[in-house]
Amino acid sequence: MPEDRNFPNGIPPASVGGRLAVRKTYKLFIGGAFPRSESGRVYPVLGDGGTLLGNAAQASRKDARDAVSAARGAVGKWSGATAYNRGQVLYRVAEMLDGRAAQFTAEVAAAERVAEREAGRQVDAAIDRWVWYAGWPDKVAQVAGGANQVAGPYFNFSVPEPTGVVAVIAPQEPSLLGFVSVVAPVIATGNTAVVVASEDHPLPAVSLAEVLATSDLPGGVVNVLTGRAGELAPVLAGHMDVNAIDLTGVVPDGRADLERLAAGSVKRVFAADEDWAAAPSTRRMLAFLETKTVWHPMGT
Amino acid sequence: MTGTTSADAVSWQYAPAPQERDIVTIAPTYGLFIGGEFVPAADGRTFTTVNPATEEPLAEIALAGEADVDQAVRAARTAFDTVWGPMPGAQRAKYLYRIARLIAERAREFAVLESIDNGKPIKESRDVDVPLASAHFFYHAGWADKLEYAGFGPSPRPVGVAGQIIPWNFPLLMAAWKLAPALAAGNTCVLKPAETTPLTALLLAEVCQQAGLPPGVVNIVTGAGETGAALAAHPGVDKIAFTGSTEVGKLILRSAAGTGKKLTMELGGKAANVVFEDAPLEGAVEGIVNGIFFNQGHVCCAGSRLLVQESVRDLLLERLRRRLGTLRLGDPLDKNTDIGAINSREQLDKIRELSAAGEAEGAERWSPPCRLPERGYWFPPTVFTGVSQSHRIAREEIFGPVLSVLTFRTPEEAVAKANNTPYGLSAGIWTEKGSRILWLAQRLRAGVVWANTYNRFDPASPFGGYRESGFGREGGRHGLEAYLDA
């Protein structure tokens, strides 16, 4: 595991055990690919004592728009997949995550400056949350929809459908568990997501994107932007091809301006501050579902 | 049309069949309904509501200003804190059952008053608006003591004071759609009826008094846009429910930004009514007529874009034109009338402007031979053919008896054209093929899909839009969420 995470005095060691470490370049995740920001910008991500953990890509407004395009392009395939298939893909993500639990534990510990044990608990919770949501795609329609008993000779039923492209401002902390807790419910129900990762602790989200890229998740279903939420969130809130926005990661005082922007295309706006360690509920899924009601006459 | 002939339709002569108007007594003036009493506006301002079929003034209505809205919200808050909030659900249910029964008992009075104030045909107010309004209270009464089973948690709480702003197209029914679920869930209400149609809401206030509803549980503030804006902006309002145009909906959304108010929006639409070549054409024609000419087309879910498969276009249009030749336009209180009056001068101007744009942009305009009454606001049933997707009459909500006809060849093209709109409230499908209905229903981005029928409503059936047609649902278990702290 990366012993070179805790650089003394912020200076990376030349080598560990005589071998020079191979460091990772942290990039964006858009349309299933890992591009750098088109702006060429990066920003330093610091760990304990100001040590440099890496340079994260600082996404631009254009990167955000590209991510929305990628997310829009993925809506048809992902929402059109069978719920069983979506559940299997999500479960595959959990499998991949579990196999890399040690790596994520080290990354979370370094990013949030918490003890390995606490970081391990967060990673375990994040994996278990994926598993929980992996079971939902083929059940949510029965919970949220059903037949309606109308007063007439009609068969009438309501089904939940994904709203489309959902922009998500992920919470600052916990970097991994928070990210998972806001993204999994969005995509479990067939939406696609453009996610702005924790600004201060973006690296676990980028590593999670590597898991997503190798888990049979179609490109574009989850797009991860790192950078300044203050720069990216207004672009997403005002974007006419975004159907909904989750402002959970925006401080309450910062939400009003974004809600005003979101009004331009009548976006569904959701924000809920919660205890990430607590058991999740269905509300994050229901927030990004539409209800479609279908009528048909009955007769011979 | 009355006393007219057209080349391919039999000319029918109808004797007048007027509904007795004396069942309704309209007072010369009406106050605001605040804290269980009718009171004048604080600054004494009033406005006039007119009969759109005759332009005759009906009554002077108190115009609520900010001070009146504030009084109403305070009355609602007091009622919420002291009476309605703490009341057991079973008891709230009984009040709602009473209201449902009282509306049914006074149904004819409501229907006549609605037709006089709104201009809609008596057969619609009598057979649709008023029975559905009563049914809405009856349905929601049953929820009041069963909320823990609605799927919003083990002990769902009401939101508090609901500010509710409704349109003029279904004045009583929209009041019922708003008040019934709010009250069932334990909220108290301040309702703002539309400027041009306040009378049935004020009669409903009288029904609330007759039902013994505690003062302040339902408050009604009449007025225009500024009254609605004051209500939406009032800090004492916990929830805003709005039905109206997308334009005004966006203004309300912006004004509510950052307030944490719970919101539901039921906004505009530009529904596609999709007719395949294998559709039962007689039924489809009835569905098209009902889809766009019901309530003079003053319907947010109106089937205003007819998408017909190219192979049956000519046949369908021929039958549609023949059918339109039999529609009777005129006195809303005549039981034979199919098309009533346009609700207001302002709306008539808008319909005229968009229809003129349709012609100017190159679409072909057709109406059956039709004599319009000399007084009042009238617009004949109108069909535009040769419409392209870029035309304003294919993109903008006309909210009048104007149908735009477009064609398609393949089901995929029908999906693409149907969804080519920022709206997403409703859609229609006409085909005998079951698999095609389900295939298309899945792909239409619309909250309500009518297959081989159109414009059906029921309190148990969730109604509401996708995209810029708004969010939240009204009706059914789903509709309760709007009024619960879920």
Nearest residue of A to residue B473 by CA position? A291
Angle at B120 between CA B119 and CA B125, to 5 degrees: 130
CB distance A148–B460 less than 8 Å?
yes
Q: Tokens standing for B201?
A: 């809401």
pLDDT of residue B43: 97
Locate B217 and state its tokens: 């549980």
Q: Where exactly does CATH 3.40.605.10 map onto chain B?
A: 29-267+466-483
Query: Exposure pattern of B225-249 as b/e (b: 16+ CB <10 Å)?
Result: eebbbbbbbbebbbbbbbbbebebb
Report the candidate in A223, A222, A181, A173 with the shortest Cα–Cα distance to residue A202: A173
Average pLDDT, chain A: 94
Q: Across the interface, do A266 and B450 touch by the CB < 8 Å criterion?
A: no
CA–CA distance, B83 with B158 (Å, rounded to integer) = 13
Residue A187's pLDDT band, with cuts at 50, 70 and 90, is very high
CB contact under 8 A, A148 and B151: no
- Say yes or no to pLDDT of A137 above 90: yes
Active-site residue, from B114, B124, B195, B266: B266
Match 């069949």 to its residue by tokens: B17
| pLDDT one digit per residue (tens) for chain B, 486 residues | 444 444 445 566 789 999 999 999 999 999 999 999 999 999 999 999 999 999 999 999 999 999 999 999 999 999 999 999 999 999 999 999 999 999 999 999 999 999 999 999 999 999 999 999 999 999 999 999 999 999 999 999 999 999 999 999 999 999 999 999 999 999 999 999 999 999 999 999 999 999 999 999 999 999 999 999 999 999 999 999 999 999 999 999 999 999 999 999 999 999 999 999 999 999 999 999 999 999 999 999 999 999 999 999 999 999 999 999 999 999 999 999 999 999 999 999 999 999 999 999 999 999 999 899 999 999 999 999 999 999 999 999 999 999 999 999 999 999 999 999 999 999 999 999 999 999 999 999 999 999 999 999 999 999 999 999 999 999 999 999 999 998
Across the range A116-133, mean pLDDT stands at: 98
- Most A-contacting residue of B132, B286, B412, B467 (CB-CB within 10 A), to test interface: B467
Mean pLDDT of A86-114: 96
**pLDDT attached to residue A264:** 97
Q: Which of B258, B461, B477 sits opposite A150 (nearest CB)?
A: B461
Taking only the tens place, the pLDDT of each residue in A193-235 is: 999 999 999 999 999 999 999 999 999 999 999 999 999 999 9
Domains of chain A are 24-297 (3.40.605.10)
**Inter-chain contact B258–A243, Cβ cutoff 8 Å?**
no
DSSP string, B261-284: -EEEEE-----EEEE-TTS-HHHH
Test A149 with B467 for CB contact under 8 angstroms.
no
Q: How confident is the model at residue A300 (pLDDT cuts 50, 70, 90)?
A: confident
Chain B environment of A144 (Cβ under 8 Å): 151
- The verdict on A149 touching B (C-beta cutoff 8 Å) is yes
Task: Give residue A49's pLDDT.
Answer: 85
Q: Chain B contacts of A263, Cβ < 8 Å? A: 250, 253-254, 257
- Give the pLDDT mean for A114-119: 96
Give residues 377 to 436 of B whose Cβ lies within 8 Å of A: 422
Calpha distance A172→A47 (Å, rounded): 14
To the query of whether residue B474 is one of the catalytic residues in this protein, the response is: no
Give the H/E segment covering residue B1: none
Tell me how far CA of residue A96 lies from CA of A207, A212, B303, in angstroms: 11, 8, 49
In eight-state DSSP terms, residue B455 is: S
Report d(CA B473, CA B139) in Å as an integer: 15
A150 near B CB under 8 A: yes
Q: Determine contact: B36 vs chain A, CB below 8 A.
A: no
Do A287 and A160 meet the contact criterion of CB atoms below 8 Å apart? Answer: no
Supply the DSSP symbol for A72. H
| CB within 8 Å of chain A, chain B residues 431-460 | 437, 441, 446-453, 456, 458, 460
Suggest the residue from B251, B253, B457 to mutate for an interface test with chain A (most A CBs closer than 10 A). Answer: B253
pLDDT of residue B5: 44
A297–B453 CB contact, under 8 Å = yes
Conformational region of residue B454, where left means phi above 0, alpha means psi within -120 to 50, and beta covers everything else: beta
What is the tens place of the pLDDT at every residue in A42-95? Answer: 999 998 888 999 999 999 999 999 999 999 999 999 999 999 999 999 999 999
Cβ contact, residue pair A263, B460, below 8 Å: no
pLDDT in tens, A5-53: 454 444 455 455 779 989 899 999 999 999 999 999 999 999 888 899 9
Instruction: Specify whether B266 is catalytic.
Output: yes
Architecture of domain B29-267+466-483: 3-Layer(aba) Sandwich (3.40)
pTM for this entry: 0.95
Return d(Cα A268, Cα B188) in angstroms, integer.
Answer: 25
The nearest CA of chain A is from the CA of B54 a distance in Å of 36
Residue ranges, CATH 3.40.309.10, chain B: 272-451
Query: Quick check: A294 and B486 CB within 8 A?
Result: no
Measured in angstroms, the CA of B279 and the nearest CA of chain A are apart by 14
User: In this complex, is the C-beta atom of A243 within 8 Å of any C-beta atom belonging to chain B?
Assistant: yes
Pairwise CB contact (< 8 Å): B486 & A283: yes
Asked if A25 reaches chain B (Cβ–Cβ under 8 Å), the answer is: no
Long-range contacts of A148-151 (CB under 8 A, 24+ apart): A148/A293, A148/B458, A148/B460, A148/B461, A148/B462, A148/B476, A149/B460, A150/A295, A150/B456, A150/B458, A150/B460, A150/B461, A151/B135, A151/B458, A151/B460
CATH class as words, domain B272-451: alpha beta
Q: A101, A80, A97, A102: which is closest to A134 by C-alpha? A: A97
